Amino acid sequence: MSDQTSQQAHDEPHGGGLGTRLNWLRAAVLGANDGVVSTAGLVVGVAGATDARGTLLTAGLAGLLAGSMSMAAGEYVSVSTQRDSEKAALAVERRELREQPQAELDELTQLLAERGLSRDVAREAAEQLTERDALRAHARVELGIDPDELTNPWHAAGVSFLAFTAGALLPLLAIVLPPSSVRLYVTVLSVLAALALTGWWSARLGAAKPGPAVLRNTAGGALAMAVTYAAGTLLGAAGV
Ligand SMILES: [Zn+2]
């Protein structure tokens, strides 16, 4: 790789086991959070306009399916694109290793030295890594990716679909199962509790303070429900 591109690669976040698992967890929590908020907003809005359980069920289920498929499709596209660019970078690396192995060895030595190894140790390490699996070493040190662990777009899409669906089921069941006199209370309370939980969890995953995240997340959900309920009530009262 040229100096310029290796510098860019150097700035990229590192791949690897723990980071990858955390990314999956974070994506799942965010997907579930999305499912809770958007479906809660939807069913509370419709509940502002009508008491009919069948209508609430239809609206909530349509929202659940539309949202989960939209999430999955978006995730599929974005991960596919990322995977394509990772594969292209690996192909370039493979060619450079074949055509200019000495320059690549120097480059790996330089990258290891930048990470704090002395010149001699970096050289020794670079030689050993090159002997064992040169492409893998360059992929990890230079590109920050593991050639054996490229994210599968179908896997990413599946996780998003399931996470959103799990989140969306909560407000959907909370609005259709209880008697009509209490369904709004049950829905609002269970949604706020769930959002407190996902806010707390995502803060913990990001090693941030949970308090502000819980507050922001529940406030966001409460606002979404208040706005759609007001809109639904107005439309219901107008007989639309
Ligand atoms: Zn290289």
* 160: nearest Cα among 83, 69, 221, 239: 69
| Side chain identity, residue 183 | R
Q: What is the 104 CA–ligand 1 centroid distance (Å)?
A: 5
Question: Which tens digits make up the pLDDT trace of 159-195?
Answer: 999 999 999 999 999 999 999 999 999 999 999 999 9
Q: What is the 64 CA–ligand 1 centroid distance (Å)?
A: 45
Report the 10 Å Cβ neighbour count for 65: 14
Q: What is the 138 CA–ligand 1 centroid distance (Å)?
A: 5
**pTM strictly above 0.75:** yes
Question: Which tens digits make up the pLDDT trace of 192-236?
Answer: 999 999 999 989 988 889 999 999 999 999 999 999 999 999 998
